[in-house]
Amino acid sequence: MKTNQKKSFLSGIPPWGLAGIALLFPILFMLLLFVLGELMMNLNGMNEDLSASIIYILMGLFNATCCFFIVRQNPRTIWYVPILCNAVGIFSATGEPNFWISSMWVIFCGGWVLSVITSVWGYYSGNKSLA
């Protein structure tokens, strides 16, 4: 019996492609967020560290949300989706010599942990819907 439900255009994209899209959006989104951070600093007189922290927290939440939905749709992808979604942060952590000295590593690592937690959550909720 066929259903009349239309499939999303994203349903045809493989999980690694979705994770790649989730990787590209933060790169583009980062530019917008850093402009927003500059505006927060200039218009509100906000501290540079505070505005950068807000931007990195938003990026971590975005990545965690992407991980949840991708892994929920395809539970077998739990092994690589959190890594692909957070590749920008991972590469910047390995390339930045002062990364572990500054306090920003707490926010980045918190985003990575949140991505793993939401991926596990998506894995279990995806497996329940498959059963």
All structural domains of the chain with their residue ranges: 15-130
Output the DSSP codes for 25-43: HHHHHHHHHHHHHHHHHHH
Kindly report, residue by residue over 2-39, the tens digit of the pLDDT.
Answer: 556 666 666 677 777 777 776 676 677 667 777 777 77
- Find out whether 63 and 116 touch, Cβ atoms under 8 Å: no
This prediction has a pTM of 0.73
Greatest mean pLDDT range, 16-30, 47-61, 69-83: 69-83
Q: What is the pLDDT of residue 116?
A: 94
Residues 54 and 107 sit within 8 Å (Cβ to Cβ): no
At residue 131, the 3 state secondary structure works out as coil
Phi and psi torsions of 47, nearest 5°:
-65, 145
User: 128 or 89, which is more confident?
Assistant: 89
Q: How far apart are the first and last CA of the chain?
A: 20
